[in-house]
Structure formats: structure tokens, C-alpha cells
Copies of this chain bind each other. A is one copy, B any other.
Amino acid sequence: MAGVDNGGVSGRPIRVAVLLYDGFTALDAVGPYEVLCRVPYVSVTTVAKRAGRVRTDTGELALLAERSLDEMPRAEVVLVPGGGERGTTASMGDEAILGWLRRMHEKTVWTTSVCTGSLILGAAGLLRGLPATTFWAARPSLADVGAIDTPGRFIETGKIITAAGVSAGIDMGLHLAARLSDENTAKAMQLAVEYDPAPPYDTGSPDKAGPELRRLALKLLADAAT
């Protein structure tokens, strides 16, 4: 492992704290988890206000948070997944979460988000005046937290990386894997998860999808929200 090509990570192991909160989106957390957890020296831990069961945004799936926020006072990397509107909004107003993010960010090597997780970083005051991205339908909200809405699958600015919606966390995770180790390791992890995408359709961006599918996607998201 190259020790000079990792964005300044010093000391081993490299701790990645994935924040879970009531109403987060499962794939936002699990996508980056899967490509980071096997990178040498990286150890990924799930954290939440309380350790234990955390419900996702559909209510049908739950993940276990291994530690409470208090039990994770320091990590080299913090990752904040997005969530449904209810979960994201609640976290944006939750001082326990926002205070933890501010304290962690003071010492992280990388502070990262997927989807509407960037709005939570923004609510903590971490994106003021910075370029960032989020879930396509939430991009107008970036201005509300002082961030500069910027197109891209993921946006790196200083030590902050924000990814676009849900599955973009996999792409950002590979980028981060390279930052935390080296390009060959990241490339090998792409193969380890056989990430050679071949979706049966080509409707993954709002432009490609068009207005009718945009309306339907927002309706499906709203109807399934808990």
C-alpha cells in the first residue's frame, strides 16, 4: 500500500464511520461500505444516536448500528448517507447529529456524503460556500445550506466529497478507496464487486429520463415513504 497517495491518512487502521439514522436509504450506506470494507487497513463501523436497530426510509429493512455517536468520537472518514424526506429533515434539525458531525469533521481526513446526506452536512454548517452535489431532485436545496450546487457524480472539495443520489455512493466509494490506499486496490475492489454496470435501461439521470419518468420517480418515492 502506498503511504503517500492517500490524502494524508496517517496511522493505522483507517476508521470509517458510517452514520445511520431513522429513515436513511440502505443503498446509500451499503454501496460505499461494500467497496471500502476490504481495503487494507480500513475498518468500517456503523454509528447512530443509539447503537442497535436503525430503520431505513421504507420501513421494511433495518440495519444494526454497532456504536452510539458517543462511542465513536474520532474517525479518519465520516460518511453520511441520504434518506427519505422525513429522515433527512429530522437529521438536519437534530443537534446531537449535527454537533457530532462538526466535532468529527474537525479531525477527519475525509468527510463524505451520499445523496441527501450532503444536506445534513450542510445543516451542520460544513458546506458553506463550497461546491457540492446531492440527489438530483434535492439539488435546489443545496443553496439553503449555503452550498454551491455543482453537477457531477461526486464532487471533491478540500477534504469533503459529496456524491449524487443513492447508487452514486458506489462510484464515490471507489474514488475514496483509491484515496485511502492506491488506484490498484480501488480497481481490484471494482472487480471484487463485479461492478461492470449494465442496466437494462438508460434512465438514471433526470436529463436522460425526461419529465414523465421524473414525475413517476418522485411519485414512487413519495408513495413508499414512511
Contact = CB atoms under 8 A, between A and B. Distances in A.
Interface of A: 25-27, 30-31, 33-34, 37-40, 43-46, 53, 58, 60-64, 66, 115, 135-136, 153, 164-168, 170-171, 174-175, 178, 183-201, 203-206, 208-209, 212-214, 216-217, 220-221, 223-224
Contacts of A212: 184
Contact of A166 (B37, B185, B193): B193
Contacts of A199: 170-171, 174, 190, 195, 197
Highest count of chain B CB atoms <10 Å: which of A44, A193, A209 = A193
**Copies of this protein, total:** 2
A171 B193 CA distance: 13
A220 B188 contact: yes
A60 B153 CA distance: 27
B38 A34 contact: no
A143 B226 CA distance: 44
Highest count of chain B CB atoms <10 Å: which of A25, A136, A190 = A190
Contacts of A39: 220
Contacts of A58: 37-38, 44
Closest 7 CB pairs of A and B: A165-B194, A196-B204, A197-B197, A188-B216, A38-B224, A27-B34, A166-B193
Given A38-B220, A166-B195, 5 more contacts: A46-B61, A166-B194, A185-B220, A188-B220, A196-B205
